[in-house]
Structure 1
Amino acid sequence: MKAVILAAGYGTRFLKDLQNINDQTLKDLIGTPKSLLPIGGFPLISYWIEALKTVLEPKDIYIVTNEMYYSKFEKWKKNYPFVTVINDGTSTNEVC
């Protein structure tokens, strides 16, 4: 069995919410994909990976993201070298 985590959204509604908040701690999250948001000190996706490792071979975990966030996921995966990050090649959520 393989796991594919779809993380290719742009978070446009979330971005608008963050821009309207007066809390600097939250404003610092602007530009962070939702699955990399820190929860309890760790990115949300890290919890998913740890849970998946209990039922899958680690090499069978794939994350699909977009061009905008690809480098952030590549940086995150240094702690999870067995995870494959796939860039879907898109740079906007606009329909062709």
Structure 2
Amino acid sequence: MKLPMKFRILTFFAQGETISDSDVFSRIKKEYGSEQQCNTSIIKNHLHSFRANCLLEDADPALDETGKLVQYYKITDLGRKRLSLLPWEYSL
């Protein structure tokens, strides 16, 4: 059974990585690419929602090679606790 996309996004951060929104999109596209919900706008909304609910926090922003600002995120302790509440069939 496939994990709901919103929670799958959060699992990317469970290993303690700091990940940019574009990295999240490229990872999620591999698993959910054929689904209508798999687009940058929805993924950015999920990331903002996680941040607003204290499941993710901002990490150091950086500039890419074109000079565009790239925001990185990392998981919080509350985010880890929420992941631990997933049913066993979704365990990481």
The TM-score with structure 2 as length reference comes to 0.31
Q: Which has the higher helix share?
A: 2
The TM-score with structure 1 as length reference comes to 0.30
Greater CA radius of gyration, 1 or 2? Answer: 1
